[in-house]
Amino acid sequence: MIKPIGSNELKPRFVYDASEREALAKEAESLPSVVISSQAAGNAVMMGAGYFSPLKGFMNVGDAMGCAEKMKMSDGHFFPVPVLCLLEDIDAIKDADRIALRDPNVDGNPVLAVMDVSTIEEVSDEQMAIMTDKVYRTDDPEHPGVAAFTSQGRHAVSGPIKVLNFSYFQADYPDTFRTAVEIRNEIQEHGWSKVVAFQTRNPMHRAHEELCHMAMEAVNADGLVIHMLLGKLKPGDIPAHVRDAAIRKMAEIYFPPNSVMVTGYGFDMLYAGPREAVLHAYFRQNMGASHFIIGRDHAGVGDYYGDFDAQTIFDDEVPEGAMEIEIFRADHAAYSKKLKRVVMMRDAPDHSKEDFVLLSGTKVREMLGQGIAPPPEFSRDEVAKILMDYYQALDD
């Protein structure tokens, strides 16, 4: 199986020893504490689950700037985005060596992690602007990722963490949330060597399904891991439990038995396009995937990124040798009326737009809300039924 990044084994920050975890939780109740941002909580969960291995905790400003500008920390370790714990108010923790980080996304703000504080630094407006520009390629406050990043405070608290739980993800999605450790173990149990990973924050329609088949066939894969985002999205995106049901139904009917794992991870979407594509590849290698599908405008939003920027960044900006995972570069896929099958549009140069079944997301949502199933060339009937039920319930 492919090795994790920067190590022969994963280094999750979750405290697996129950007695140690219980002692830490008890200690945490008497420690100075602070409620962290949702983005920081997602980062803590990802470190706890081993996805960000071998990262030990939240970065200081120097490391964060290095990751933003060169994708490298000061010790040379590769990481594609800053991982910061940014706070507005540090009065409760400013003289503390050890603090409790409280969860903003769970009632009562329980302790999510304990941190040994290395530094508390103020992030300048210039530093914030550089990180925003490098990671998001825009400073537009309407960009949802920019809005989330810049709405946090300007005090960066750094240091190694020990994670006590996985926030609401494990409780709300017990059948889907998996740590990188668990996915690696399951891949090993299956005996898979070549593993394709597919990222999604949406339900999978016919083109996504066929794209996974294409990638598996092209690399002669043993299995597919559909890995869905379970964290916060932008308004209008479909909730995780609905996506989960639709994807499971598709995998059950349209893939061979025991060839697909449907899993999810706890993280807030950045919508950072190319940089987020690199981050996605980083933690897919850590979970054991040898190949990762990156399609048109991967992790993008609006018109901020070029169609294939999320692919070319691996050629132009990712340091050589930083990752072993291979990228399966996909074009937009759609059903060809001429060929009577789903194809990648680049593979049909003789086609015009009219030769494909193409529907906008807005049009699909309108149809589903009216109880009208999209054409079978676009969406499987079984998937459409689950989505129609969801959209019609919104109108009730």
Active site residue 202: yes
On whether the CB atoms of residues 318 and 294 are closer than 8 A, the answer is no
Token digits of residue 137: 């390629």
- Give the Cα separation of 33 and 20 in Å (integer): 19
Q: Which residues are paired to 294 by β-bridges? A: 329
- Give the Cα separation of 317 and 363 in Å (integer): 36
Residue of 314, 222, 303, 305 whose CA lies nearest to 259: 222
In order, the DSSP letters of 97-123 are SEEEEEPTTSTT--EEEEEE--EEEEP
Residue of 135, 19, 126, 21 whose CA lies nearest to 67: 135
Catalytic residue from among 202, 248, 258, 380:
202
- Give the Cα separation of 68 and 244 in Å (integer): 33
Active site residue 201: yes
- Give the Cα separation of 373 and 391 in Å (integer): 12
Q: How far is CA 30 from CA 41, 170, 332, 376, in A?
A: 20, 26, 53, 58
- Give the Cα separation of 291 and 261 in Å (integer): 15
Token digits of residue 38: 């949702």
Catalytic residue from among 98, 201, 248, 365:
201
Amino acid at 65: M
Active-site positions read 201-202
